[in-house]
């Protein structure tokens, strides 16, 4: 049997100041690491939930984002007639859209921030079934009326129902607030596409993009093939969910790379903290270790005993780090949408998988910080160590 | 019978032949043991004496398999330990040697009971059997009522008695004691020596003891002096 674990647990308690330092080092690292990852996770989830697998977004071929895309009105007709487009009483469920940017004052600071204004078809709520009006009503076609995303209503001033807001050279009335389920649309303001284009003096016969409701997710292939092989069109067709996934990639990857780098740098610090704690533990307990070796405990027992001790520190640190950032879960924060430089709200997502990852990261640090001192402990010459007072 | 002339019979419990130990300190070589011979039978109580630095601890460490000699052989109960691998030697120590240290070397974070139990963790005994052995050992040293005390809650003499209980609990082939009373007052020292004497007489233990204390050495059946790297019987030393 091995050296009893009580020995390590009680030794940790006896040397608690040193233990606490190592635990906090690891807790801090794990906390920051998991927080960064949950930020990336939340950002990605927000954008991806904006898309639906049953929707397709049609843009000019070669454009990387909606803002720089253009689709002519004549082409919208062709798109509406393409196979796989869902039809309702009101005709094909297609929303030709125009995206512009407008600045509005933030409630918190009074300073302006950019908001994405999306001119949509009056049919948009049937096209995007993840969006619903939660107060007020939908805008009426042809009028200077706006419905605003939940997050916009909450964070910007002037968007109370019935209020008038001025932007883009026009005066608009806020008639409704919509809930887009935490997706990117919650950070947008919607109005009738024709009116938006009018006010912004955009050519009446061009839209930014066209979002299409398909009869089923499988209908995409047929729809896409029909459009891309049509000689009259030069468009690209993406599943909406994939489009948003792509949009999220740059920032998600940036956060991931940053998070990993910060995690690594802090991790190295924390490992040195653990190494320091464990080396001094080994040095202080030289004679105890030699005594155990004299009693007949093998080198392997000593190594595993001290590795276990390092892992205890790491585990407690990992769990503490995770607990510390748990309150971040669901906390809303904002970032620039890099394509449009408009403000986008999203929430930290602390998932069980991320927490498990954080604890595993901690245990890895424990191993790296625990093994070298443990090996030193096992290699000390017993006869020599026993002579030390 | 204890002999130091290297002419003991083949059935001694401990048989040392031509034991040499040199230490290297910088460029200087210290030749501590120089062809030492020793035969000890089961049930003997041997005291080693000698001036500081004469190599008593060195000898005990070699006998206990904690260190390797520069030359010569040590055979204990038929096993030659001088050529064992480190792993084998560790297992051999667990089975055959009970160490008693001057500074007791109890693990401070473990109770008396847990300290005494340590050697049994290396055996196949069940938890219940271990408890029984530990209790018996603590009874032998008269500390059954202090089982759950930590070392810092015990006096020096009591700590050493726990140390002795730990040394005997797994019933080793012999006990090696390096100045077990060196840190104790006269009264406690006498109690410890009484206890070691009792272990030899009543329990048939074999005890090899290093001491500076002539009073303590008197309890042993044989006193050997370590002089210039070899052992001599005490009376011969006095005679010369
Ligand atoms: N690891 C070592 N390296 C070098 N020299 C050593 C080492 N261990 C012991 N020595 C030397 O070997 C000699 C014998 O030491 P040892 O401890 O065996 O003596 P001792 O008889 O036990 O002395 P004491 O009565 O003071 O305990 C001493 O000169 C000591 O300095
Ligand atoms: Mg000594």
Q: Which fold has domain B41-67+84-236?
A: Rossmann fold (3.40.50)
- Residue B91: closest CA among chain A residues belongs to which residue? A296
Q: Is the CB of B52 under 6 A from ligand 1?
A: yes
Could you read off the pLDDT of A255-296 as tens digits, one per residue?
889 888 999 999 999 999 999 999 999 999 999 999 999 999
Could you read off the pLDDT of B16-37 as tens digits, one per residue?
999 999 999 889 999 999 999 9
- Identify the pLDDT of residue B240: 39
pTM over 0.80: yes
- Identify the pLDDT of residue A328: 87
B57 min Cα distance to partner chain A (Å)? 9
Cα(A145) to ligand 1 centroid in Å equals: 97
- Identify the pLDDT of residue A1: 66
Could you read off the pLDDT of A21-71 as tens digits, one per residue?
999 999 999 999 999 999 888 888 888 888 899 999 999 988 877 777 889
Considering only CA atoms, which residue is closest to atom 6 of ligand 1? B23
Judge whether A2 is closer than 8 Å to chain B, CB to CB: yes
The answer to whether B234 and B223 have CB atoms below 8 angstroms apart is yes
Neighbouring CB atoms inside 10 A of A78's CB total 16
- Contact list in A for residue B84 (CB cut-off 8 A) is none
Q: Which residue has the higher pLDDT, A215 or B8?
A: A215
Of B99, B105, B119, the CB nearest to A287: B105
Give B235's pLDDT tier (boundaries 50, 70, 90).
low
């Amino acid at each position: 049997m091995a050296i009893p674990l009580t020995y390590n647990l009680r030794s940790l308690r006896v040397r608690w100041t040193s233990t606490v330092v190592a635990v906090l080092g690891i807790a801090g690292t794990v906390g920051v690491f998991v927080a960064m990852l949950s930020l990336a996770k939340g950002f990605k989830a927000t954008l991806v939930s904006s898309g639906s697998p049953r929707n397709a977004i049609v843009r000019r071929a070669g454009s990387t984002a909606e803002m720089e895309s253009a689709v002519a009105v004549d082409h919208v007709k062709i798109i509406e007639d393409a196979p796989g487009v869902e039809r309702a009483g009101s005709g094909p469920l297609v929303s030709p859209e125009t995206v512009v940017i407008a600045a509005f004052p933030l409630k918190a600071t009074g300073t302006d921030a950019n908001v994405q204004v999306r001119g949509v078809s009056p049919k948009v709520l049937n096209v995007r079934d993840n969006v619903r009006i939660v107060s007020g009503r939908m805008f009426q076609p042809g009028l200077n009326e706006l419905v605003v995303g939940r997050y916009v209503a909450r964070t910007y001033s002037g968007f109370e129902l019935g209020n008038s807001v001025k932007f883009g050279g026009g005066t608009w009335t806020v008639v409704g607030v919509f809930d887009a389920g935490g997706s990117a649309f919650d950070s947008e303001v919607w109005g009738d596409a024709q009116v938006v284009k009018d006010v912004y003096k955009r050519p009446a016969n061009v839209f930014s993009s066209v979002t299409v409701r398909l009869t089923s997710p499988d209908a995409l292939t047929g729809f896409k093939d029909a459009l891309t092989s049509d000689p009259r069109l030069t468009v690209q067709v993406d599943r909406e969910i994939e489009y948003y996934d792509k949009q999220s990639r740059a920032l998600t990857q940036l956060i991931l790379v940053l998070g990993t780098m910060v995690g690594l740098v802090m991790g190295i610090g924390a490992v040195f903290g653990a190494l320091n704690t464990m080396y001094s533990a080994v040095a202080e307990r030289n004679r105890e270790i030699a005594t155990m070796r004299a009693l007949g405990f093998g080198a392997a027992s000593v190594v595993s005993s001290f590795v276990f001790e390092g892992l205890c520190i790491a585990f407690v640190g990992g769990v503490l780090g995770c607990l510390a950032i748990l309150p971040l879960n669901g906390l809303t924060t904002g970032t620039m949408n890099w394509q449009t430089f408009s403000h986008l709200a999203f929430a930290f997502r602390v998932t069980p998988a991320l927490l498990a990852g954080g604890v595993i990261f901690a245990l890895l640090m424990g191993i790296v910080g625990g093994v070298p001192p443990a090996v030193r402990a096992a290699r000390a010459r017993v006869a020599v160590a026993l002579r030390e007072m | 019978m204890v002999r130091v002339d290297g002419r003991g019979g083949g059935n001694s419990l401990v048989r040392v032949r031509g034991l040499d130990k040199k230490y290297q300190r910088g460029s200087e070589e210290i030749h501590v043991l120089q062809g030492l011979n020793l035969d000890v039978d089961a049930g003997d109580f041997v005291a080693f004496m000698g001036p500081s630095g004469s190599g008593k601890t060195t000898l005990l460490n070699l006998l206990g398999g904690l260190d390797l000699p520069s030359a010569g052989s040590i055979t204990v109960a038929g096993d030659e330990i001088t050529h064992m691998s480190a792993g084998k030697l560790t297992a051999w120590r667990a089975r055959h040697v009970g160490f008693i240290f001057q500074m007791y070397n109890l693990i401070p974070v473990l109770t008396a009971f847990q300290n005494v139990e340590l050697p049994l963790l290396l055996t196949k005994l069940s938890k219940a059997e271990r408890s029984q052995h530990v209790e018996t050992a603590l009874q032998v040293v008269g500390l059954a009522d202090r089982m759950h005390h930590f070392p810092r809650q015990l006096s020096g003499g009591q700590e050493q008695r726990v140390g002795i209980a730990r040394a005997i609990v797994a019933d080793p082939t012999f006990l090696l004691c390096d100045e077990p009373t060196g840190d104790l007052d006269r009264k406690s020292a006498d109690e410890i020596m009484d206890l070691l004497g009792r272990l030899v007489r009543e329990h048939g233990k074999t005890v090899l003891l290093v001491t500076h204390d002539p009073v303590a050495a008197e309890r042993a059946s044989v006193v050997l002096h370590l002089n210039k790297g070899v052992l001599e019987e005490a009376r011969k030393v006095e005679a010369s």
